[in-house]
Amino acid sequence: MESRQLATFTVDTLLFGVEVYTVQEVIRYQEMTVVPLAAHGAAGLINLRGEVVTAIDLRTRLGLPPRPDGEMPMNVVVRVNDEPVSLLVDAIGDVAQVSADQFEEPPETMTGPGRALVLGAYKLENQLLLALDVKRAVDIGVAV
């Protein structure tokens, strides 16, 4: 049975996963520089060891309520089209081993803008693990 490894993280109450190999690194909250006039979802720019990296807030992208005051997001730096992009998430989870037979199309229960960014769901024992479509998630030019 084909199995894959997903790096997991939570955004609001949802558990997401992305292919482990797309993740470059995970770092704690970094000070961000806001980019005025940028499309909705671009939270700002962070300094990643001398490289300027755009941070995308997944809460905004998924149409979820903003992060409660005082909670700092984590940066999941993924490489998309050979460019690093940081995904702002609430908390980091484990690496999950999933297999194709656990997979299903996006659940009917999922609505809102987030649905377009999800490839599908893996049914874990006690929770659903949503597979994030990273390319679409970082493509903030596209409305969802």
Tell me which stretch binds other proteins (CB under 8 A): 14-22, 99-107, 117-125, 136-144.
Answer: 136-144
Q: Which residues between 34 and 53 bind other proteins (CB under 8 A)?
A: 34-39, 42, 44-47, 50-53
Closest distance of CB 99 from other proteins, Å: 33
Tokens read off for 98 = 């999933």
Q: Which is nearer to other proteins, 44 or 106 (CB)?
A: 44
User: Which string of x and - marks every residue 64-83 that binds other proteins (by CB under 8 A)?
Assistant: -----------------x-x
d(CA 7, CA 132): 10
Within residues 78-117, the interface with other proteins by CB under 8 A covers 81, 83, 85
For 134, left (φ over 0), alpha (ψ -120 to 50), or beta?
alpha
Contacting residues for 97 by C-beta, under 8 A, at least 6 apart: 3, 4, 5
In one-letter notation, the amino acid at residue 117 is L
Rounded CA separation 102/123 (Å): 5
Q: Contact positions toward other proteins, by CB under 8 A?
A: 31-39, 42, 44-47, 50-54, 56, 81, 83, 85, 138-141
